[in-house]
Structure 1
Amino acid sequence: MQGKTTTLSTGKFISKERWGFTNKLRNKLRLITEKNCKLAIDLVEQKIEDAYLELSRNNKEVTLFEVKNKLNGKTAKLGDLDILKLFKKHNDYFKKKYEAGERSKASLQKYNRAKDLLANFIKQKHGKTSYKISEIDNQFIYNLESYLKYESSFNYKVGISHNSVIKYFQCFKTICFYGIKRNLIATNPFLAYDEKLIIKEAIFLTKAELERIEEKKFSTDRLNRVKDIFLFSCYSGYAPIDVQNLTKENLIKDSGDSLWIKTNRAKTNIKSNVPVLPPVKRIIDKYSHLDENRLLPKISNQKVNEYLKEIADLCQINKKLTHYVARHTFATTVTLGNGVAIENVSSMMGHTTISMTQHYAKVMDSNVKNDMDKLKEKFV
């Protein structure tokens, strides 16, 4: 709340002259009216502190608006909003961002799915079609977790994995933050949920495996196209949705005559600018004849992953290849493995924090050995 201001009335009055004469009521006071004013101000200060402490127990970021509403008795009214109505407000807003090209279709689908899961839980476990945010407590939250993990169903599959549950709860938290920022609610009850993702080791290709795919010539055009799209991602770090959206307008030449691919990630709308490496340039040149404005042929992510299984078999790679393995390969083998600083890798991948990059980027043993060899020389 630093730097923010608002006003509250004590209901008391003092003239401008007496306010200045008493040094804003800091001097010793003799008049009853001035003593009453000082008492009223002290009382308001105490109420502000109490309101802030109470609100901060459930919310890390307390706004002046929340404190003022708490003092004016409006907080309870804000908390009466139905969580599913708030979800709809957010998702309608997010849909506009998707239609404007600022967010991905997959992210919109995730929020709609999260809303459906929450609605199913409320209906099945509470027999309701609505639920006030003010009534969401820890028991509700952890019963919801249990329901998602062991009882919810989708496409005939019962239960959701731990990491997927964590991501749905991130959606629930985001919805409430949306409401707080728009003065629709006062607190975020889902902050009580603090489970962590189980970080699995990212699958990536070694330099030898990457070269094996590059050197392999396939007998069908479909496999050769998917191979090129996959290698493009390996050497640029772009996710599947971003590769599909790249056009010739994204190809920029800087003042030093170097080529860059410049765009914003569809998932987060975060800037992701990557210099064009020689393998990427060769692939772009190969498809420069396309009638469309695209850099690469358009193939669905589902088909890409399906054909990558064939490519893995034909190249004798004993790993489950998906388009995202290419992104991991860029982070590890292509960049970190060749000494690129993790800060620069993070920027190219469109991450907002280094910790996000560390999830993708495995520090390779060869890097550790090289650094330790340099260190050994200092102790000879």
Structure 2
Amino acid sequence: MEKTRRSTFKVLFYLKKNAPKKDGTVPVMCRVTVNGKQSAFSAKLDVSPSNWDLKFGRVSGKSKQANSLNAELDNIRLNLEQCHAKLLKESVTLSSEKLKNAYLGLSSDELTFFKFFDQYNADFKKKVANGIRSSQTLSKYEVLLRHLRSFAKKKYGCSDLGFTDLSCDMVQEFDYYLRNEKGLQPNSVWLYMIAFTTICRLAISRKHLVFNPFSEYKNAKEDKDRGYLLRSELEEIISYQCKRRNDILMKDLFLFSCFTGLSYSDIKRLEPGHIQQFFDGNQWIIIRRKKTTTSSNVMLLHMPKMILEKYAGLTRNGRVFPVPCNKSCNDFLKRLSEAIPCLNGKKVTFHLARHTFGTLFLSEGVPLESLSKMMGHKNIATTQIYAKVLNEKVGKDMQQVAHRFETMERAFVPTL
């Protein structure tokens, strides 16, 4: 028995030279070897390669900074030796991975950040099954967790993270990882970091995290040019005659979205109970948006009323419309944009209808506050994007006609 407890054990510090920082320093890595098998992790220290003593695995020189860094390396080595001695007493089977995890505080029975995240996703799956949350949002969290796991493996050489590993530096480095290593676009990075923030806030509220790792992080979503249909283009779609029954259905659903602002997912789950008559005598759609659970209240105009009457009683699942899949709708809209000359192959998707609703009704004088309520935005700043789009169009329109006034302007002679 005693013979099986014996093991070879080494600790080596080395530089990860393929990951230099902007200031020229590189991370210090720690490699533990047990019985010939190696495991590595970040020492969470950065040094200049020119100050590194390769032979002894330490910072060269006797400066105050060198002494401080070497003291931290000595402390890591001492803690590893203590963990090694403790594990030898507890178990006959010892590996480099088990030693590394013990040092990092990632014992099998301890709640780690990734275990916490796994549990969050498991709970989220139940909400998706009950129709409370969407599968697309779940997919976002699952992909985020995969990115975090690969980041931890590459950056720190470990398969899990403790809550104490979440720091301001770690958050910023993960941002760089998504942009540089994964090649994600800025808005994709923004999306994942928002989700990461959500998980951290939950960990803080449950007392697992004592410090907000996002306290120094700043990132903003880039405003993309939100496409929309002009009134004349929308009129062309309304008058376009589809030949196939399914195409007629998809065109009607698209127009219903243009005049209610409802997204594809909200139209798909629309039930008769969502359509109510208010004290003003008008019919309204009262629904909580699937994406944000925010209330969306829209008064029905004549066209969406006619579309509702057209499909009344045709579904058997308790929904208002027999909605095809989103891909089929977008494929049809692509064909439609190619068939209508004034659209000139414009990229028309189902979600474009929602943007069309926002810009169309804002341009007709509907106040931002009312439009925000109708579209179910959590923040009026989201609605203001439509106002920005309209202002940009006004500027472009002015530039197009500016040359017509050149002769008049040249004739003007300013006098005092």
- Fold similarity call, TM over 0.5: yes
Runs (5+) with no aligned partner, structure 1: 1-76, 153-158, 370-380
Q: Which has the higher contact order (CA 8 A, sep 6+)?
A: 1
Shifted more, 256-265 versus 90-99: the winner is 90-99
Alignment match of 2:261 (pick from 237, 242, 261): 237
- Counterpart pick for 1:205 among 219, 229, 244: 229
- Measured after TM superposition, the shift of residue 106 of structure 1 is 1.3
Asked if 1:314 corresponds to 2:344, the answer is: no
- Aligned position for 1:297: 322
Q: Describe the superposition over 1:298-344 as per-residue Cα deviations: whole angstroms up to 9, x where unpaired.
A: 211122111110011111213211111111001001x1011111001
Take 2:391 and 2:198, find their aligned partners in 1: how far apart are those partners? 38
Cα distance change of structure 1 residues 321 and 305 upon mapping to structure 2, 3 Å threshold: same
Deviations 1:101-122 (A, max 9, x none): 3222211111111111111211
Q: Read off the aligned partner of 1:84 and give its amino acid letter.
A: F
Measured in 2, the distance between the counterparts of 1:332 and 1:324 equals 13
1:189 shift after superposition: 0.7
d(CA) in 2 for partners of 1:366, 1:168: 29
How many positions carry a matched residue from both structures? 284
Q: Which moved more, 1:290-299 or 1:93-102?
A: 93-102
> Residue in 1 aligned with 2:368?
342
Residue 356 of structure 2: which of 293, 313, 329 is its match?
A: 329
Change (3 A) 1:214 1:362: farther
Q: Does the alignment pair 1:217 with 2:241?
A: yes
Asked if residue 258 in structure 1 is aligned to residue 254 in structure 2, the reply is no
Are the aligned partners of 1:148 and 1:160 in contact in 2 as well (CA < 8 Å)? yes
Supply the distance in 2 between the matched residues of 1:88 and 1:303 (Cα, whole angstroms).
Answer: 34
SS at match of 2:215: helix
Point out where structure 2 has 5 or more consecutive residues left out of the alignment: 1-104, 396-416
CA distance in 2, matches of 1:238, 1:192: 36
In structure 1, C-alpha distance between the alignment counterparts of 2:217 and 2:294, rounded to whole Å: 27
Write out per-residue CA displacement over residues 258-282 of structure 1, whole angstroms, 9 at most, x where no aligned residue: 1111111111111111111111111
| CA apart distance, 1:201 | 1.7
Q: Post-superposition shift, 1:139?
A: 3.7
Q: 2: CA distance between counterparts of 1:343 and 1:121?
A: 42
Following superposition of structure 1 onto structure 2, how do residues 261-280 of structure 1 map, counting pairs within 5 Å? 261-280=285-304
TM-score by length of 2: 0.64
Separation of aligned partners in 2, 1:113 and 1:287: 38
Q: Which residue of 2 aligns with 1:10?
A: none
Q: Are the structure 2 counterparts of residues 363 and 176 from structure 1 closer, same or farther at C-alpha, using a change threshold of 3 Å?
A: same
In the alignment, the residues of structure 1 paired with residue 380 and residue 175 of structure 2 have an alpha-carbon distance, to the nearest angstrom, of: 29
Looking at structure 2, the residues matched to 262 and 85 of structure 1 have their Cα atoms a distance apart, in angstroms, of 39
The question of whether the paired residues in 1 share the 8 Å contact of 2:292 and 2:378 is answered with no
Shift of 1:81: 5.4
Which residue in the other structure is 1:228 paired with?
252
Q: Is the 8 A contact 1:263 1:273 kept in 2?
A: yes
Cα RMSD of the aligned pairs, angstroms, is: 2.2
Q: Which residue of 1 aligns with 2:186?
A: 162
Q: How far has the Cα of 1:90 moved from its partner?
A: 2.3
Higher share in strand: 2
Return the letter of the residue paired with 2:148. Answer: L
Alignment CA distance shift 1:145-1:251 (3 Å): same
1:180 pairs with one of 198, 204, 223: 204
Give how far 1:367 is off.
11
What is the aligned partner in structure 2 of residue 22 from structure 1? none
Native 8 Å contact 1:166 1:195 kept in 2: yes
Which TM-score applies when normalising by structure 1? Answer: 0.70
CA distance in 2, matches of 1:287, 1:165: 41
Q: Secondary structure at the match of 2:184?
A: coil
Q: Which amino acid aligns with 1:339?
A: G
The alignment partner of 2:248 has SS state of helix
- 1:98 maps to which residue? 128
- SS of the residue corresponding to residue 189 of structure 1 reads coil
Aligned partner (choices 289, 299, 311) of residue 287 of structure 1: 311
For 2:387 and 2:199, locate their aligned partners in 1 and report how far apart those are by CA, in whole Å. 30
In 1, the alpha carbon distance for the partners of 2:236 and 2:271 equals 28
Amino acid at match of 2:228: F
Task: Give, in angstroms, the shift of residue 297 of structure 1.
Answer: 1.9
